[in-house]
Amino acid sequence: MAFEHDTVLLEQTIDALDVIPHGVYVDCTLGGAGHAKYLLSQLNAQGHLYAFDQDIEAIRNAEQVLADEIAAGKVTLIHDNFRNIASALSKQGVKYVAGIYYDLGVSSPQLDHGERGFSYRAEAPLDMRMDQSASLTAHEIVNTWDFNDLLRIISRYGEERFAKRIARAIERERDNQSIETTTQLAEIVKEAIPAATRRTGGHPAKRTFQAIRIAVNDELGAIEESVEAGLKLLSVGGRMSVISFHSLEDRMVKQLFKEASATPELPPNLPVLPAEFEPEYQVINRKPVVASDEELEQNHRARSAKLRVIERVTFKE
Ligand SMILES: C[S@@+](CC[C@H](N)C(=O)[O-])C[C@H]1O[C@@H](n2cnc3c(N)ncnc32)[C@H](O)[C@@H]1O
């Protein structure tokens, strides 16, 4: 099946890294390899890209679309969760890198290949695993998690105001029969929310599906671990750029960058800031970069994209 993904904020994400042609870079979310291809076009024979994806289909696709760069020894594909960035790079003998980027969330093929179970529109078994070898599936969450856990994820990760009604409806339905498919779940969610609100704010199941997907893949946990580890891997002058697609991701990235770039508590009455109090990181753009009107016209996925960038300015033991 075709693997087509329209890359979001292509130049902005890579150009923000101030690419050095001989530098070592990390793509944490290879997907359709759009960002990777553009970055690789700026590297010379000494430069290298390590590219992660936990989805084996993305890795197989990249073996084809990056065949020339692989043959030239400019890229290494790593089938792993980006939360393992430090250990996976250490296995490759890499200690520091010049830049790291993330384009979070799901790829278009994950949504469009209905059988993956991410889409409320395509009839499929409840799956939603980005990593096909992981054990937790949407089926297990929907059919076995207790009411309080369902309520927690639907309200926290879906920011769904009718989370209680939806969690109850799931519980009621599975007492009768197990919930097997995406469309069955979408129908339960739709029926659970008040009729008057069904016509506003997109498909009624959108937020619940987002919540279950985030839980299946522990998306926020992986981002937190990976960004923290990735910041430590940057050499001085090295940059990290992150594109997020919903407020939970963006809030987490903003907070992690804020903590990394904060000035520590200072003793009173200091005439100048001693070097040891200077933060190791500096946020490059206080306001996130968003897509231009032109990009928005061509790619609706770009609507919610927000790009944040941070630089390592010094190194402390
Ligand atoms: C939005 S797509 C990336 C698209 C890519 N930048 C492009 O230009 O084609 C996100 C990709 O990241 C992968 N991904 C998401 N979370 C991941 C994680 N924790 N570890 C590894 N890969 C992950 C997904 O499987 C998906 O293929």
**Is 268:135 a contact under the CB 8 Å cutoff?**
no
pLDDT of residue 261: 96
Provide the 10 A C-beta neighbour count for residue 77: 21
Mean predicted confidence (pLDDT) in 94-105 = 97
Examine the domain organization and report whether 298 and 233 are in the same domain.
Answer: yes
Q: Does some domain include residue 127?
A: no
Rounding to the nearest 10 degrees, give the CA dihedral for residues 166, 169, 175, 179: -60
Examine the domain organization and report whether 229 and 206 are in the same domain.
Answer: no
Domain boundary among 200, 216, 232: 216
For residue 51, the CA-to-ligand 1 centroid distance in Å is 10
DSSP states along 142-191: HHHS-HHHHHHHHHHTT--TTHHHHHHHHHHHHHHS---BHHHHHHHHHH
- This prediction has a pTM of 0.95
Domain boundary among 152, 184, 216: 216
- Could you read off the pLDDT of 140-161 as tens digits, one per residue? 999 999 999 999 999 999 999 9
Give yes or no for residue 1 having a pLDDT over 70: no
31 close to ligand 1 (CB < 6 Angstrom) = yes
Atom of ligand 1 lying closest to residue 81 CA: 20
For residue 305, the CA-to-ligand 1 centroid distance in Å is 14
117 close to ligand 1 (CB < 6 Angstrom) = no
| CATH number assigned to the domain comprising residue 207 | 1.10.150.170
Examine the domain organization and report whether 19 and 91 are in the same domain.
Answer: yes
242 Cβ contact partners less than 8 Å away, ≥ 6 residues apart: 101, 102, 104, 227, 253, 307, 308, 309
**Is 166:208 a contact under the CB 8 Å cutoff?**
yes
pLDDT-based confidence at residue 272 (cuts at 50, 70, 90): confident
3-state SS assignment for residue 34: helix
Residue closest via CA to ligand 1's atom 9 equals 32
Give yes or no for residue 167 having a pLDDT over 70: yes
pLDDT of residue 198: 75
Number of domains making up the chain: 2
Residue closest via CA to ligand 1's atom 20 equals 81
- Could you read off the pLDDT of 178-200 as tens digits, one per residue? 999 999 999 999 999 998 887 77
| Full residue range of the structural domain in which residue 43 is found | 10-109+220-312
Residue closest via CA to ligand 1's atom 25 equals 55
- Could you read off the pLDDT of 18-56 as tens digits, one per residue? 999 999 999 999 999 999 999 999 999 999 999 999 999
Supply φ then ψ for residue 117, to 5 degrees: 80, 20
pLDDT of residue 112: 83
Give yes or no for residue 125 having a pLDDT over 70: yes
